[in-house]
Structure 1
């Protein structure tokens, strides 16, 4: 109940719209009409279709419609339910591994974890993928506790199918499912080879079905090309998104700045490797396999931060597994050093209380600047008004709309006869928008803000009224402030 309450409260206003949400909502709408995923008319294979199919089914059953941004806000409710189920699974896993009391503490922390709440409060594929990952590992634990026979074989195949659903939702989850499973075969014979092979066989089925559909439509070459780029992005050979693409952004400074909002989450991210290493040496097979799950997942997260595509959503499964492995490691430490029981208990209680406080803060904040800006422009601006957009999220979330277009430089604003320009301060300052950060400085000195909203995600979302004389004069003097990305001028 606690998990559901945290996720229901503020679901459409606690997090500003993220570009991926709008994209995923549009793709889900395509799937609901029986189409293959595409973006701007081109097939989209960077991510598999699991979450799109789920949300497409919801759209079809509930008859949802509207602009992709409106769909994204409505579909957030799906992740609210899935995120709640993930908390239940965490409780069941920890209860099975170390008992009810640690499971309650882990459940409370996960129910209120501010980082997990932000992911569950958006239309992100990590939520359904994380649910499938934990479901698969619960089945693996049931397998390890089963005697040889048909019942165990069925559970092995079922675990594989659920792992396969995770992978067909987000490819990267193969590192959180199959990699630890195979490692467990060789690490102290934690998982029998026959069991691993049956789970592996089951995991192939969902993706094989997906590939057969792709092949039947003659799109395998496009699939291979996009997946190749995706692999290069994941290993860091190609930097297209994430913190590592913007050298002007100091990741350490950004983490320190965000610690007041996600401090407990960052601690869990760090604990994933330590707790996993401890649990991997347990004499109990079920604990060892969870230790390997945590250890490998944590290492993948660390690699992505320093070398790969350092996108914050990669940390989602790391937090989930940390809340499963840390109670195991804590129980082992107490069994080795009984006098530490009081310290461990106090630390767990402090973590739960702090997580609850940060969770309340995360869900009570109002952070819907882009939606408010759109509503203001629709209500207050003339229908003939020309508005220049400067961010990627603005492009996907607000277009198509009569008179609104991407105009991310002084030159394009002048040539497009723009009367207004919409900016989102934090993304532009950190190099994530189309417009250069210098455009914000020029607007502050030469334009009039007619709408302003300040939120933790995008900073200041501002609609500026342009002074045509100052704009024309700046461009005529060669001050064009060209965009930094997007192919615009």
Structure 2
């Protein structure tokens, strides 16, 4: 992009005008815009150089700089995307030499003071005889007429002095704040009667939009908004005909689409990461088989049922979505085929959740930090593992983050705030009606923040919490109305007892499970080192954010997203800590913790690098800037200390970048390893069974997953050799990994002696199941069992 900022930097310009011009150019460059700064050329200065303000081009003197700027614009008129003209005494009238569709904004660093200031000598004498006033009035009228003819409806940006007070915001400014890309509204205390933008507009006869702004970096946002409005006015409504990256597109149009295109590209990247080998990179999971079967039941009109019984352990939001997809695409009649066909639903939901998390973090931190966290979430192997299966976590977390994103903005109007709160509450309701656990990171933190806040923000958050409760209550009422209340009460009580650890059926604390959480973490450390590290860092970051919010609430006052991220992460860790020590812990429970940990770490890194935090920290320790003179020992020591601190500061500043690069490298390595190694042992076993085992043969399974993949298989219990007699003869399918974990219906002792009673006929290796083994039970198993009993 190449917008051109025109300003006067000659000795004749006032310091305030030159300061606003250079600061605005610098902020535009920081915002990612290529700026060419045109100014006068003092004696001895270079004609062209690159500075912090952008590319500075100098030419002309105090009185001829206007001619130089116009000639330069004529020569480069077809390569200029937009022009910001600085009004320092007299505008440059750049629209005269630019194409009609080139956006032009006129920046007024301060309301034009009348040149009839208190003078000395001849000026005072001439004013005394009344000569200067008529001349000044005539010049003002000529100037106003020229500006009205040349600029017409062009945008006008007025930078009002910061010391002004007690004047209403102009109606035009209020109307322009709702324009796309417009900056936040200017408080009424920032406009003074002496330099009123309304008076300026009336004196100049302006008809275009007017944007009042405060001095400083806020000029950038107002200029971008003004240029966006100019492009919308000069071009036909609708999307641009050229790509946003085209060099001929105006300055602010690429900024919003460039961010949108970047977010869309990140979402597509995350979706590709999850959709690559989605049917072979991850083996069949028993939970996704249950969920798809319930979705098939809803699609058939039978309600949330599983094997003839009402299923109420989890709310039906995700099952209803699967049923809707099946209604559109059609069921294939085979459970495993439907499971593999519905996996893209979770992949899309996971990508949407990652996109919403990135957008939420962009409201709280610098864009670079948000992009880095977004890449980590898109490539994270732990999240990919669940997003590539038909599991509950993708939808529940996506709805949670979308709700936080909606609530991270506080609109101006009362109706807009109510609509925002209701929208966030509906998103939270989707999350809690997908999985009850997510009420801990939706309703609980939002309600707590609502009680701690005041004013409009308090009403918004409490309204969102109330809508969440109403959404879950509607689900409970519908369950009771359809006759599912007894099953709902019984299964919810059982789930609550399992969550509290009173009844351990599943998870690492179950009595039949032979592995613990520590062993499981060590077994997956090579793949999930980055998410495990994020969880650990996120715990520290969340604690620091809570401390920082208590000690320095001003850092969180201007950004609701910071408080929402901190509160959600703070509610997630205690729940997982309790589940790990006393309750039922399952691996999918760490899914939301990984997402919130990444957000908390990104927010903490941003605030640690913030100048306000460093200032507050230095003040709290009682540090005073050194003013030691040169040449003494203390001064030399302080300079040495400052140099060493500067080196340490640069190292600390580069550390997050290095850690991010290392984490992305490890995640890319883990993703490549997972998606290039087939892990579909159940599907390949199904193919082998259909081609090699007779239709009338009996097939027995020792776990819950095999019957879902092979409809001919039936789960049975095998505690001794006599149980094999019932097959007479038949086939037995055993998962080696589930036997080692204690999740099968065959005892480890019988499995160790299985070669005495059966013959191994096929083995399918896999990363999840380790190996699916098919045994053919021998005809002599009955005799061997009788001999063993004797």
Question: Among 522, 529, 533, which residue is 1:263 paired with?
Answer: 529
User: Following TM superposition, by how much is the alpha carbon of 1:17 offset from its aligned partner in structure 2, in angstroms?
Assistant: 0.6
Which position in structure 1 is the counterpart of 2:766? 455
1:273 aligns with 2:539: yes
1:108 aligns with 2:108: no
Q: Secondary structure at the match of 1:462?
A: strand
Report the Cα distance in structure 2 between the residues aligned to 1:476 and 1:83, rounded to whole angstroms. Answer: 57
1:254 aligns with 2:520: yes
Report the Cα distance in structure 2 between the residues aligned to 1:247 and 1:41, rounded to whole angstroms. Answer: 28
Which position in structure 2 is the counterpart of 1:484? none
Check conservation: 1:23, 1:68, Cα contact below 8 A: no
Which TM-score applies when normalising by structure 1?
Answer: 0.92
**How many residues were matched structurally?**
475
Report the Cα distance in structure 2 between the residues aligned to 1:76 and 1:251, rounded to whole angstroms. Answer: 27
1:206 aligns with 2:471: yes
1:62 aligns with 2:334: no
User: Following TM superposition, by how much is the alpha carbon of 1:273 offset from its aligned partner in structure 2, in angstroms?
Assistant: 2.1
User: Following TM superposition, by how much is the alpha carbon of 1:190 offset from its aligned partner in structure 2, in angstroms?
Assistant: 11
Q: Which has the higher helix share?
A: 1
Which position in structure 1 is the counterpart of 2:680? 368
Which digits, 9 at most, give the CA deviation of each residue in 1:124-172, with x for residues without a partner? Answer: 01111111011011011123xx336111111011101110010011111
Which position in structure 2 is the counterpart of 1:468? 779
Report the Cα distance in structure 2 between the residues aligned to 1:5 and 1:361, rounded to whole angstroms. Answer: 16
Segment drifting more, 180-189 vs 196-205: 180-189
Q: Secondary structure at the match of 1:48?
A: coil
Which position in structure 2 is the counterpart of 1:487? none
Which digits, 9 at most, give the CA deviation of each residue in 1:79-112, with x for residues without a partner? Answer: 1111111221122112121122112211111111
Change in CA separation of 1:444 and 1:415 when aligned onto 2, cut-off 3 Å: closer
Check conservation: 1:10, 1:363, Cα contact below 8 A: yes
Which digits, 9 at most, give the CA deviation of each residue in 1:287-310, with x for residues without a partner? Answer: 122111112112212222222111
Report the Cα distance in structure 1 between the residues aligned to 2:351 and 2:580, rounded to whole angstroms. Answer: 27
Change in CA separation of 1:169 and 1:404 when aligned onto 2, cut-off 3 Å: closer
Question: Among 442, 449, 458, which residue is 1:177 paired with?
Answer: 442
Alignment of 1:310-459 (within 5 A): 310-335=585-610, 336=613, 338-339=649-650, 340-399=652-711, 401=712, 404-409=714-719, 410-444=721-755, 446-459=757-770
Q: Secondary structure at the match of 2:608?
A: helix
Report the Cα distance in structure 1 between the residues aligned to 2:307 and 2:690, rounded to whole angstroms. Answer: 25
1:221 aligns with 2:486: yes
Report the Cα distance in structure 2 between the residues aligned to 1:191 and 1:475, rounded to whole angstroms. Answer: 80
1:241 aligns with 2:506: yes
Change in CA separation of 1:438 and 1:310 when aligned onto 2, cut-off 3 Å: same
User: Following TM superposition, by how much is the alpha carbon of 1:474 offset from its aligned partner in structure 2, in angstroms?
Assistant: 3.5
Question: Among 573, 579, 582, which residue is 1:307 paired with?
Answer: 582
User: Following TM superposition, by how much is the alpha carbon of 1:333 offset from its aligned partner in structure 2, in angstroms?
Assistant: 2.0
Consecutive unaligned residues of structure 1, counting only runs of 5 or more, are 480-489
Q: Secondary structure at the match of 1:366?
A: coil
Change in CA separation of 1:461 and 1:295 when aligned onto 2, cut-off 3 Å: same
Q: Secondary structure at the match of 2:761?
A: strand
Which position in structure 1 is the counterpart of 2:407? 140
Q: Secondary structure at the match of 2:502?
A: coil
User: Following TM superposition, by how much is the alpha carbon of 1:429 offset from its aligned partner in structure 2, in angstroms?
Assistant: 1.3
Mark the structure with the bigger radius of gyration.
2
User: Following TM superposition, by how much is the alpha carbon of 1:426 offset from its aligned partner in structure 2, in angstroms?
Assistant: 0.8
Q: Secondary structure at the match of 2:509?
A: helix
Higher relative contact order (CA 8 A, sep 6+): 1
1:149 aligns with 2:414: yes
Which digits, 9 at most, give the CA deviation of each residue in 1:423-465, with x for residues without a partner? Answer: 0011111111121122321124553322212222111111112
Check conservation: 1:120, 1:127, Cα contact below 8 A: yes
Q: Secondary structure at the match of 2:668?
A: helix
User: Following TM superposition, by how much is the alpha carbon of 1:59 offset from its aligned partner in structure 2, in angstroms?
Assistant: 0.1
1:87 aligns with 2:354: yes
Report the Cα distance in structure 2 between the residues aligned to 1:250 and 1:224, rounded to whole angstroms. Answer: 30
Change in CA separation of 1:383 and 1:85 when aligned onto 2, cut-off 3 Å: same
Which position in structure 2 is the counterpart of 1:290? 565
Report the Cα distance in structure 1 between the residues aligned to 2:608 and 2:405, rounded to whole angstroms. Answer: 23
Q: Secondary structure at the match of 2:742?
A: coil
Change in CA separation of 1:278 and 1:418 when aligned onto 2, cut-off 3 Å: farther
Consecutive unaligned residues of structure 2, counting only runs of 5 or more, are 1-267, 550-554, 615-648
Check conservation: 2:407, 2:461, Cα contact below 8 A: no
Q: Secondary structure at the match of 2:288?
A: helix
Report the Cα distance in structure 2 between the residues aligned to 1:476 and 1:24, rounded to whole angstroms. Answer: 45
Change in CA separation of 1:189 and 1:265 when aligned onto 2, cut-off 3 Å: farther
Which digits, 9 at most, give the CA deviation of each residue in 1:318-367, with x for residues without a partner? Answer: 11111211100111222346542111221122112212221222222211
Q: Secondary structure at the match of 1:453?
A: strand
Q: Secondary structure at the match of 1:452?
A: strand
Report the Cα distance in structure 1 between the residues aligned to 2:679 and 2:367, rounded to whole angstroms. Answer: 36
Alignment of 1:114-125 (within 5 A): 114-125=381-392
User: Following TM superposition, by how much is the alpha carbon of 1:217 offset from its aligned partner in structure 2, in angstroms?
Assistant: 1.7
Superposition RMSD on alpha carbons, in Å?
A: 2.1
Which position in structure 2 is the counterpart of 1:482? none
User: Following TM superposition, by how much is the alpha carbon of 1:257 offset from its aligned partner in structure 2, in angstroms?
Assistant: 1.3
Change in CA separation of 1:123 and 1:478 when aligned onto 2, cut-off 3 Å: farther
